[in-house]
Amino acid sequence: MTKVIKGIKLRLYPNQAQTNLIWQMFGNDRKVWNLMLDMAQQRYHNNPKSQFVNEYGMNYLLKRLKQEYPYLKLSDSTSFLVVNHNLALAFKALFKHRGGYPRFKSRHQLRQAYTGRSVCRVEAKRRMKLPKLGSIRTSKTGQLTHSKIKRYTLSYNPTGRYYLSLQVETEVEQLPKTGQSVGIDVGIADLAIASNGIKYPTFNAHWHEKQVIKWQSKFNRRKNIAETAVNQWNHSHKTIKEDLNDYQNWQKARMIKARYQKAVANKRQDYLQKLTTDLVRKYDVIVIEDLKAKNLFKNHHLAKSIANASWRQFRIMLEYKCAWYGKKLITISAKDTSRICSKCGFNSGPKPLKIREWTCPQCSAHHDRDINAAVNILRRGLKAVG
């Protein structure tokens, strides 16, 4: 048994009073972030040589803020500590030239969330007790058995649903050893090609993706009509003004579009989870290429296909599952893995992507391009670890 930190996500079903309080807490966290950020800006403008107020200093100011804005007391107090921690990290990244200047948060953002460190516990199979909110109905909580909750994040996404993301400490059992090793080459037509010749196809959800395109078009058209109507009304009426949110038709299209987009994301996540778990169960040693997906996105002909394949997410899942279950993941350089003959080691040079099979000019061995690369990956990985 090994102790690990896992993330578990539950759906929430708040009543009207809880919904109102949730949105109040979203606003309170946003208020604290904006106040602290504004304070840092004003302090710098007044005296550029002044010392930056660190996380401890911002936490010290929270008591004064609650006196000035009494409604902040409605929130879980630990959520403000998380806000200050995140803002301090953002400034540290800025000072080290690893990120841009922190931005003010808006209530118009489609995704709202707050994170707390207070104690929350399971009350029943479909019910949890959260700070300030009390008992709230959820999806099944069976995954939380024998787990210690470290922190929680309550979020609202564009689909109109509320979710509770929990960071828990739990124990996992080591998977039995199989004595098998495999090299994996990632691709576009097939997500993963194993050195033993097995090919795992890339995820696809064609119907849902068509619906996303369809409703994106409807959303754009309806929003454009609403904006035109608002501008015409406000131009002709000086006393009574309309707002874009007064028109509901485009908002319905936005909600439907978001739900289809979420369905595609959920299906992709489920496919990757099942595939990576299957690989970790079958093999003790897995060797993959250290690909820089960010650089590959510069090819606009392949960017969408690479993003759909989710190479980065595939690797992340393999990394933490191998660590959990006592397996070994090895990453190697991707240089020349598809050019070298796996039989004799001859480097045949670069080939266009459309060439999927080739014959070695030196030993006349016929290769499937992807399987040959996977075999080279496995050999290079095993050689690297002796």
Residues with a known catalytic role: 185, 289, 370
Q: Coil, helix or strand for 294? A: helix
Cβ–Cβ under 8 Å, residues 234 and 241: yes
Buried-state track 248-269, b at ≥16 Cβ within 10 A, e below 16: eebeebbebbbbbbbbbeeebe
Write out the two tokens for 81: 């500590």
Residue 344 — φ and ψ, nearest 5°?
Answer: -115, -10
Find the Cα–Cα–Cα–Cα dihedral 53, 58, 60, 61, rounded to 10°.
110
The interaxial angle of helices 55-68 and 77-95, nearest 10 deg, is 140
Any idea what the Cα angle at residue 284 is, between residues 365 and 5, rounded to 5°? 135
Q: Coil, helix or strand for 343? A: coil
Check residue 244 and report its DSSP letter. G
